[in-house]
Amino acid sequence: TEKHYKMPENFLWGGAVAAHQFEGGWQEGGKGVSIADVMTAGNKDTARKVTDGIKDGEVYPNHWGIDFYHRYPEDIKLFNEMGFKCFRTSIAWTRIFPNGDETEPNEAGLKFYDDMFDELLKYNIQPIITLSHFEMPYHLVKEYGGWTNRKLIDFFVRFAETVMKRYKGKVKYWMTFNEINNQTDWSNPHHLLQDSAIKVKAGTPGMEEMMYQAAHNEMVASAKVVELGHQIDSEYQIGAMIAMCPIYPLTAKPEDIMMAERAMQTRYYFGDVQANGEYPNWLPKYWERQNIHVEISDYDREILKKGAVDYIGFSYYMSFTTKSTDENTDYAYKEARDLVDNPYVQKSDWGWQIDPVGLRYSMNWMQDRWHKPQFIVENGFGAYDQKEADGAVHDDYRIKYFHDHILEMEKAVALDGVNLIGYTPWGCIDLISASTGEMAKRYGFIYVDQDDQGNGSLERSKKDSFDWYKQVIASNGEDL
Ligand code: P53
């Protein structure tokens, strides 16, 4: 029989979402237009379009999400039924500062989160908050050019200060920028927009340099918020949020090993800066060879040093594999070019490689590299679900995915000593996919009756995985 483990006492079991993917109510309470509000519906073969403002005849799924804005008491009740100790969501920047550059916050937006957090706290579910999750004010894209502009540092700090003061006593765990390292894939304009509010066409010269400058400014802003947050409340725990997809070498060929090492360095230097408070040595050397200029002042370096994060929040869905080529003698890692299939793992219907052991591997790697507590703030399986005539959804494939990943997570804690705060599976209730804009790519324990065009009753119902996860939480991880 399989050996199972209990998680430490007070382990934070819960679920995770992001405001723009599930709130809807895109114009309620004085909310401004976010980058997600100008993204059309796509699917796994068709990329989402980004329109300049809202255009007639286009479909914008984030406008309705799953209408959590109006239905949150019902949804939170279901989270409580599953036994959630915590619930990770984001505060939509555009509800608080609709354009991003105002000096006074929008009270109606602040009040929405007050009420919603109170509803969670009624059940002793603590909110875990991401400050910026792919939903920046579109105005900051248009008028400022996104994060290559240092003015955004002040706008972000003002937003963070406002909410960190307002929700003192209600929130303890914060994260600054969601999956800040997705923009490693800078040649894909989708990631530059989502992470850094930069709107450019594919193939625009200088995209790699833009990415490094924008990421630098974000990490300075993040470090400022860490320092400021600790002044507002010394109990605050403020984390990074890294998209962890470990990158393996395809073979034991030494050049493949070197390529994988450089790929890991490239994809995870963000964590080095945010956890260690300084840039790793290899990166300025690489910039020199590539003729990339990044503006970094001595003042910035001081800020980064003082604003190291308290913990590493991360998502884990899949692993990657890479290999060296004769042409790439500098081992420059370009994500859109350098990934290959791993013959040892299976893929989801969206091509995401399923690799539970990679989670344990990643947790060990991060513990040894960054020496910080970890928080798995996303993990999950996007799949097509079939709703039966009797209303049931038999998502045994999702239960298997969670079983396998939670087991590896537990080994990392029980056998390897990784310091883990909690686990919040992604999309605990079905919502809009970030990459494709689909409803059909479902992650939830809770089914939401809605299709890709926004048709449906929005009725909530329990999938088989609902009772399964409930039992995992009730047994503190032992009953898998
Ligand atoms: P969707 C890429 C790689 C790993 C995670 O993704 C990613 C992405 C970007 O899409 O995103 C995170 O909805 C993200 C969530 C997102 C979730 O993973 O594309 O933090 O907002 O919904 C799942 O299937």
pLDDT digits (tens, 9 = 90+) for 9-40: 999 999 999 999 999 999 999 999 999 999 99
State pLDDT tens for residues 226-260: 999 999 999 999 999 999 999 999 999 999 999 99
- State ipTM: 0.97
Determine contact, residues 107/36, Cβ cutoff 8 Å: no
Residue 459: active-site member: no
Mean pLDDT (the chain, rounded): 98
State pLDDT tens for residues 264-275: 999 999 999 999
Q: Which of 224, 215, 218, 237 shows the shortest CA–CA distance to 302?
A: 224
Q: Whose CA is nearest to atom 16 of ligand 1?
A: 434
State pLDDT tens for residues 104-127: 999 999 999 999 999 999 999 999
Q: Is 480 exposed, middle or buried (0-12, 13-18, 19+ CB in 10 A)?
A: middle
256-292: b (≥16 Cβ within 10 Å) or e: beebbbbbbbbbbbbbbbbbbbebeeebeebbeeeeb
What local confidence, expressed as pLDDT, does residue 85 receive? 98
Q: CA 433, CA 382: separation in Å to the nearest integer? A: 9
Catalytic residue among 135, 218, 335, 378: 378
Q: Which helix (H) or strand (E) holds 271?
A: helix 254-271
**Distance from residue 149's CA to the centre of ligand 1 (Å):** 25
Determine contact, residues 128/173, Cβ cutoff 8 Å: yes
State pLDDT tens for residues 344-375: 999 999 999 999 999 999 999 999 999 999 99
Residue at token pair 């079991």: 13
Q: Tell me which of 135, 426, 429, 436 to substitute to probe ligand 1's pocket, judged by most ligand atoms within 8 Å of the beta carbon.
A: 426
Residue 273 per-residue DSSP state: I
What mean pLDDT do residues 67-86 have?
Answer: 98
Residue 146 per-residue DSSP state: G
Determine contact, residues 477/4, Cβ cutoff 8 Å: yes
Residue 378: active-site member: yes
State pLDDT tens for residues 122-168: 999 999 999 999 999 999 999 999 999 999 999 999 999 999 999 99
Q: Whose CA is nearest to atom 15 of ligand 1?
A: 434
Determine contact, residues 197/94, Cβ cutoff 8 Å: no
Q: Does any ligand 1 atom lie closer than 6 A to the CB of residue 178?
A: yes
